[in-house]
């Protein structure tokens, strides 16, 4: 069989070009032996993006199968554009999280903005109207010279996109650590609402059905973005600028409204957005899911620049584009609704039964400037299977990290003045207020934000579910989390802690967890120790998801997060969606009633400081014994907490996490301006500073009317959860008996100024 | 009461306005798409927040030339009450239905948070009483009201200043961030000369329900209903 034509100016494919495109030598050999011929230049481009880590999950696929993905509430598990869970009455919550790390480091504003745009499209492609977004961000150390520029750019980019399209950004998290100095993380999450029986899928069904291209025209931006996202950074990073896409949120808003109206007419059989690897991956994945083939007429691709080659059109990652498969004869309905929203739409191909991905184009013909006449020849002719199921899959070698025994007992020297230490800690960039960030996000658009950023452990949003019988209000809780320091010290336990913290946040606002999405950010999988971290973390996530009732319904893997051979902290970010039975079950994190009793739920601290913010600040490195997690105790705690919220016996709830017990109490005071007087929960013998700042999981601080103490104690007892009354909401100070007493105002001022050193 | 909520392609608080007026207040309300040329038999018009046509040129600039424009002008010229919120305020100034202009916030960032404002003059949307202090959210990047010193004097003279930013007690910001965007004269909302057109940067429609933590904004819509004689 002969090789399809190259376009004028394109070289013949070669092992050297294959290497430049990111293919390993043995992968190139496999291409040759499978095809029994050399690929064309465009074909080599197509194969290399589809076989990139980003698209093929070649290093992670064999591990991802260990994650639990089922449950009675799961409507759609992994494998589609986004996952979905049932929220009752025929409606579902559709959600996913995705990384945009590499582009955001190169160009923070556009990188972050297009990350938001991409995840929004993943959700509305399923037929869901997006209702809220979160983001999880990691930057280098606060005093790194690049950090201020990156923080300002990323936050402005997320805001610029989300604010314009009108989806509230209601929460998220951010951490600064030197491991991210050369490789920041931008993980974006969106949830939407759809009718369960009207979900749309990315399938190219119906041989002969027309393929319609809708949205922005194709340019040269983002070519080989997926390949770039599958490699380490070196010193030449700035030269990768052309691989970053540019976002247009107004175009996306038009696309969103037009898509939802088109879906409602039922004239489509499938749809997929053009994300990573653009036209190539959207058409190949749709053909693959339906077991069909696709033939594209590249001469018909709408374009915004001269002389685009097939290679460029197939690999462009220009934003705000969708590929729709219309039911035959119903194309006009798509065109009419696109015209209503002033969007371009063109038929660019057909569904075939060949199982092949075929593209035709005319050398020398350019519809952009009218040069030449169309007389297309085949430029790509590849089996779909080669690009999907038959893509490489590796079980890469693993090697456990050597234990550094000398660090295991590290607790740091006890500070002299624990009050001053708390004021300092709560004003540090990893602990203090994030209001500088979330004030730049429209977090209230759509009239649904019931618990705003900073008011509770998770965001609570009201969603409107409208069908023929009327409109119902439902209430969802969403939270994202991960602390890579705990994952570094113990990949299994740290990953399990990320899930536990996220589901704990959701129950602390009164919601039952329904499902989880993950964004697994790790280093180079070809390094056995990194691969070991990844595999361990998967097992930790799997154990925690199973124990805490949060199946994984969607996700994303981002590997090669390294610069010059230095990897980031392993960061398996997760986000959980939960649902409140009743809006009146919701709980904030702030103390609300003078004289209320403050109680500690869960096993008290043993004073283990490993991986804690305090110890990192004290020692300058991520050290100490891992804190560990008992998933059975965690599950019991969360069940008890949910019952306390539903019985309305407690008035606030806040889990103990970053910064430890003292920071948790201080935050509950600062949120509402109330003071507190407490004693340290009874514990084994440990220094006071270790009990104050340990980040051991599975602990919640609640406040309740004094009259409810007995009933709350009984509920905890029934679940086997330690319950201890530790003090009262009172006064204008946070007083911890025998340890410190600090004015709330002093704590609040320090907390509010936490990011000033970076952003002002 | 019948209310048309104008819908530009980039409107994004259109739902917020429709929900507040229809579902919370109980009025008849519908969307009037920007390609339409009629507002139907509306008693009042709301131009909601958002990014009209993307607003890459200047907030609201292109919206001043849309097909629904003439209907809005005609409705306003007959004395019909028109409320422009956030981007709606920007559009009304671009259309020339309100004096002055909205420019980039003094600190150059988008800002979303609760602020306070004081009712300066009564009108169709503000008959809750002069001096009333409201807590409302803002969510904008281009909310810094600007006009010339003569323009400002004229607004004062004609009683066209609807709201000024204030502290929670109703005191003047005095240079503090109680004025969130650097607006001249701490102005948060202005009336037209005839007082039937109001533009304001804060969002009353996002603060009209207890479940959202604040229903101060509902008072503007109940004021309108009183003004139109529906209660």
3-state secondary structure B202-213: CCHHHCCEHHHC
Contact A166 B13 (CB under 8 A): yes
Q: How far apart are CA A434 and CA A439, in angstroms?
A: 9
pLDDT above 80 (res A619): yes
Strands ordered across the beta sheet of A676-678: A652-655, A700-704, A597-601, A723-729, A676-678, A733-736, A740-743
Supply the pLDDT for residue A246.
81
> Is the pLDDT score of A228 beyond 80?
no
Tokens, residue B214:
């604040």
What is the C-alpha separation between A284 and A356, in angstroms, rounded? 9
User: Is the distance from CB of B48 to CB of B11 less than 8 angstroms?
Assistant: yes
CB nearest A253 (choices: B9, B35, B203): B9
% of chain A beyond a pLDDT of 70:
96
H/E/C letters for each residue in A133-183?
A: EEEEEEECCCCCCCHHHHHHHHHHHHHHHHHHHCCCEEEEEEEECHHHCCC
The three-class DSSP label of residue A259 is: helix
* A559: CB partners within 8 A, 6+ apart: A53, A59, A60, A230, A522, A523, A524, A525, A534
Q: Is B205 labeled as catalytic in the residue annotation?
A: yes
Question: Looking at the partner chain, which of A159, A435, A471 has a beta carbon nearest the beta carbon of B110?
Answer: A159
| Residue B165 tokens, joined | 């930013």
Contact B206 A444 (CB under 8 A): yes
> Where residue B229 falls among pLDDT bands split at 50, 70, 90?
very high
A296 interfacial to chain B (CB closer than 8 Å): no
Chain B residues closer than 8 Å to A163 by CB: 110, 112, 139, 141
B67 and A CB contact within 8 Å = no
- Phi, psi angles (nearest 5°) of residue A161: -80, -55
Q: Tell me what the mean pLDDT of segment B90-119 comes to.
A: 96
- Is B203 an active-site residue? yes
- For A:426-485, CB contacts with B below 8 A are 435, 438-447, 449-450, 452, 462, 464, 471
- Catalytic residue from among B34, B116, B140, B203: B203
C-alpha–C-alpha distance, residues A285 and A226, integer Å: 15
CB-nearest to A164 from B19, B20, B51 is B51
Catalytic residue among B34, B86, B94, B120: B86
- Residues of A within 8 A of B54 (CB-CB) are 164, 248-251
Tell me the C-alpha distance between A446 and A163, whole Å.
Answer: 11
Confidence of residue B57 (pLDDT cuts 50, 70, 90): confident
Least confident of A392-406, A461-475, A529-543: A392-406
Whose structure tokens read 């009354």? Answer: A725
The structure tokens listed for B172 are: 């003047």
**Mean pLDDT, rounded, for B192-209:** 98
| Cβ-defined contact of A447 to B49 (cutoff 8 Å) | no
Are the beta carbons of B12 and A165 separated by less than 8 Å? yes
Q: What is the mean pLDDT of residues A560-583?
A: 96
3-state secondary structure A423-468: HHHHCCCCCCCCHHHHCCCCCCCCCCEEECCCCCCCEEEEEEEEEC
Locate the chain B residue with the closest alpha carbon to A340: B35
Q: Which has the closest alpha carbon to A286: A212, A234, A215, A180?
A: A212
Asked whether the beta carbons of A109 and A162 are under 8 A apart, the reply is no
| Sheet of A459-467, strands arranged across | A449-451, A459-467, A470-481, A571-580, A512-521, A552-558
Task: With a cut of 90, say whether residue A8 has pLDDT above it.
Answer: no
At residue A13 the predicted structure's pLDDT band, cuts being 50, 70 and 90, is: very high
Query: Any CB–CB contact under 8 A between B55 and chain A?
Result: yes
Dihedral of the CA atoms B137, B140, B145, B146 (nearest 10)? 170
Extract the tokens encoding A451: 């618990």
**CB contact, 8 Å: B142 with chain A?**
no
Taking 80 as the threshold, does the pLDDT of residue A628 lie above it? yes
φ and ψ of B188, to 5 deg: -110, -20
Give the tokens for residue A315. Answer: 């690999």
**Residue of chain B nearest A248, judged by CA positions:** B54
Torsion of CA B148, B154, B160, B161, to 10 degrees: 50
Cβ separation B113–A439 shorter than 8 A: yes
Q: Do the beta carbons of residue A297 and residue A382 sit within 8 Å?
A: no
Tell whether A165 lies on the interface with B, counting CB pairs under 8 A.
Answer: yes
Contact: A442, B110; criterion CB under 8 Å: yes
Prediction pTM value: 0.96
Q: What is the pLDDT of residue A222?
A: 73
Q: What is the DSSP annotation of A515-573?
A: EEEEEEE-S-TTSHHHHHHHHHHHHHHHHHHHHHT--EEEEEEE---EETTEEPPPEEE
Backbone phi, then psi, for B101, in 5-degree steps?
Answer: -150, 155
Which residues share a beta bridge with A600? A701, A724
Asked whether the predicted pLDDT for residue A240 surpasses 60, the reply is: no
- Model confidence at A682, in pLDDT bands (50, 70, 90)? confident
**Structure tokens of A348?**
């660019």
pLDDT in tens, A245-289: 788 999 999 999 999 999 999 999 999 999 888 999 999 999 999
CB-based contact, A253 to chain B, within 8 Å: yes
**A665: pLDDT strictly greater than 90:** yes
Beta strands in A220-292 (DSSP E): 268-273
pLDDT at B60 over 90: no
Q: Among A155, A260, A447, pick the best mutation site for testing chain B contact (most B Cβ within 10 A).
A: A447
pLDDT per position as a tens digit, A315-358: 998 999 999 999 999 999 999 999 999 999 999 999 999 999 99
Contacts of B111 in chain A (CB under 8 A): 439-440
pLDDT at A224 over 80: no
3-state secondary structure of A125: coil
pLDDT at A404: 59
> b or e along A411-433 (b: 16 or more beta carbons within 10 Å of the residue's beta carbon)?
bbeebeebbebbbebbbbbbbbb
Q: How confident is the model at residue A238 (pLDDT cuts 50, 70, 90)?
A: low
Q: How many CA atoms lie within 13 A of A553 on its CB side?
A: 28
What is the pairing mode between strands A733-736 and A676-678? parallel
pLDDT tens, position by position, A35-55: 999 999 999 999 999 999 999
**A406 vs A171, more confident:** A171
Q: What is the mean pLDDT of chain A?
A: 94
Instruction: Give ∠ CA B94-B98-B103 in degrees, rounded to 5.
Output: 55
Closest CA to A93 of A220, A195, A246, A205: A195
Nearest CA in chain A to B112: A439
List the single residue in A250, A442, A447 with the smallest CB-CB distance to B54. A250
CB contacts < 8 A, A to B, total 85
- Least confident segment among A6-15, A255-264, A435-444, A487-496: A6-15
Tell me the pLDDT band of B52, cut-offs 50, 70 and 90. confident
Q: Is B86 a catalytic residue?
A: yes
B23 contact residues in A (CB cutoff 8 A): 471
């Amino acid at each position: 069989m002969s090789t399809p034509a190259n376009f004028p100016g394109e070289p013949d494919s070669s092992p050297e070009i294959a290497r430049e495109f990111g293919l390993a030598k043995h992968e190139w050999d496999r291409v040759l032996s499978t095809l029994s011929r050399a690929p064309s230049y465009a074909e080599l481009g197509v194969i290399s993006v589809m076989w990139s880590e980003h698209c093929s999950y070649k290093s992670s696929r064999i591990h991802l199968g260990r994650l639990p993905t089922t449950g009675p509430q799961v409507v759609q598990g992994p494998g589609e554009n986004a996952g979905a869970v049932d929220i009752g009455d025929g409606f579902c919550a559709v959600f996913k999280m995705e990384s945009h790390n590499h582009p955001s480091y190169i160009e923070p504003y556009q990188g972050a903005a297009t990350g938001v745009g991409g995840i929004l499209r993943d959700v509305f492609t399923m037929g869901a109207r997006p209702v809220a977004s979160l983001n999880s961000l990691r930057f280098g150390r606060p005093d790194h010279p690049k950090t201020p520029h990156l923080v300002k750019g990323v936050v402005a980019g997320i805001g610029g996109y989300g604010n314009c399209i009108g989806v509230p950004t209601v929460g998220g998290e951010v951490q600064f650590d030197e491991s991210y100095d050369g490789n920041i993380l931008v993980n974006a999450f969106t949830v939407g609402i759809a009718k369960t029986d009207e979900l749309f899928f990315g399938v190219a069904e119906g041989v002969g059905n027309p393929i319609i291209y809708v949205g922005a025209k194709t340019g040269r931006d983002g070519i080989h973005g997926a390949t770039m996202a599958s490699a380490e950074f070196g010193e030449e990073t700035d030269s990768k600028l052309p691989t970053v896409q540019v976002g247009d949120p107004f175009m996306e808003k038009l696309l969103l409204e037009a898509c939802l109206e088109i879906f409602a007419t039922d004239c489509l059989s499938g749809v997929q957005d053009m994300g990573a690897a653009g036209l190539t991956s959207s058409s190949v994945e749709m053909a693959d899911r339906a077991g069909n083939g696709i033939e594209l007429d590249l001469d018909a691709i709408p374009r915004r620049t001269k002389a685009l080659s097939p290679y460029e059109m197939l690999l462009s990652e220009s934003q705000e584009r969708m590929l729709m498969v219309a039911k035959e004869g119903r194309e006009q309905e798509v065109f009419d609704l696109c015209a209503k929203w002033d969007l371009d739409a063109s038929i660019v191909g057909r569904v075939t039964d060949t199982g092949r991905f075929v593209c035709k184009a005319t050398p020398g013909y350019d519809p952009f400037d009218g040069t030449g006449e169309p007389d297309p020849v085949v430029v790509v002719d590849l089996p779909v299977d080669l690009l999907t199921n038959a893509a490489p899959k590796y079980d890469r070698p693993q090697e456990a990290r050597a234990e550094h025994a000398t660090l295991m007992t590290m607790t740091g020297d006890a500070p002299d003045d624990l009050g001053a230490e708390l004021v300092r800690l709560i004003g540090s960039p990893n602990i203090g207020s994030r209001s500088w960030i979330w004030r730049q996000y429209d977090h209230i658009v759509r009239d649904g934000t019931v618990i705003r950023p900073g008011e509770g452990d998770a965001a609570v949003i009201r969603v409107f579910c409208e069908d023929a019988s009327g409109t119902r209000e439902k209430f969802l809780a969403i939270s994202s989390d991960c602390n890579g320091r705990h994952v570094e010290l113990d990949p299994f336990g740290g990953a399990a802690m990320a899930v536990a913290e996220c589901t704990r946040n959701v129950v602390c606002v009164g919601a039952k967890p329904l499902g989880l999405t993950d964004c697994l950010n790790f280093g180079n999988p070809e390094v056995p120790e990194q691969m070991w971290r990844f595999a361990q973390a998967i097992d930790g996530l799997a154990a925690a998801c199973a124990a805490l009732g949060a199946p994984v319904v969607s996700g994303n893997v981002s590997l090669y997060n390294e610069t010059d051979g230095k990897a980031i902290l392993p960061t398996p970010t997760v986000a959980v969606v939960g649902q409140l039975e009743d809006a009146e079950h919701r709980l904030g994190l702030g103390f609300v009633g003078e004289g209320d009793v403050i109680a500690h739920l869960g096993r008290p601290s043993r004073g283990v400081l490993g991986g804690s913010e305090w110890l990192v600040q004290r020692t300058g490195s991520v050290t100490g014994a891992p804190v560990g997690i008992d998933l059975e105790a965690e599950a019991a705690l969360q069940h008890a907490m949910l019952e306390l919220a539903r019985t309305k016996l407690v008035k606030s709830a806040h889990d103990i996490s970053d910064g430890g017990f003292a920071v948790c109490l201080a935050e509950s005071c600062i949120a509402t301006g109330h003071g507190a007087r407490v004693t340290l929960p009874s514990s084994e013998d440990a220094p006071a500073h270790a009990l104050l700042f340990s980040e051991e999981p599975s602990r919640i601080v609640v406040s309740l009317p004094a009259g409810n103490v007995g009933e709350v104690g009984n509920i905890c007892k029934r679940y086997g959860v330690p319950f201890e009354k530790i003090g009262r909401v009172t006064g204008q100070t946070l007083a911890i008996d025998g340890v410190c007493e600090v004015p709330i105002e002093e704590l609040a001022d320090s907390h509010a100024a936490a990011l000033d050193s970076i952003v002002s | 009461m019948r209310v048309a909520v104008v819908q530009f392609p980039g409107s994004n608080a259109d739902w917020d306005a429709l929900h507040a007026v229809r579902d919370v207040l109980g009025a008849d309300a519908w969307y009037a798409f920007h390609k339409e040329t009629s507002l139907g038999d509306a008693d009042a018009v709301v131009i909601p927040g958002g990014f009209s046509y993307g607003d890459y040129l200047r907030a609201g600039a292109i919206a001043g030339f849309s097909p629904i424009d003439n209907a809005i002008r005609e409705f306003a010229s007959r004395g019909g009450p028109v409320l422009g919120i956030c981007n709606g305020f920007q559009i009304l100034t671009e259309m020339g239905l309100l004096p002055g202009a909205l420019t980039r916030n003094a600190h150059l960032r988008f800002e979303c948070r609760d602020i306070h404002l004081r009712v300066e003059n009564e009108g169709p949307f503000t008959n809750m009483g002069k001096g009333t202090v409201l807590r409302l959210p803002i969510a904008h990047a281009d909310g810094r009201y600007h006009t010339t010193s003569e323009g400002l004097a004229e607004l004062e003279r004609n009683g066209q200043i609807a709201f000024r930013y204030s502290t929670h007690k109703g005191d003047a910001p005095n240079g503090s961030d109680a004025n969130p965007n650097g607006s001249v004269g701490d102005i948060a909302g202005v009336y037209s000369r005839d007082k039937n057109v109001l533009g304001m940067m804060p969002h009353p429609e996002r603060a009209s329900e207890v479940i959202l933590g604040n229903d101060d904004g509902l008072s503007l819509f109940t004021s309108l209903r009183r003004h139109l004689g529906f209660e």
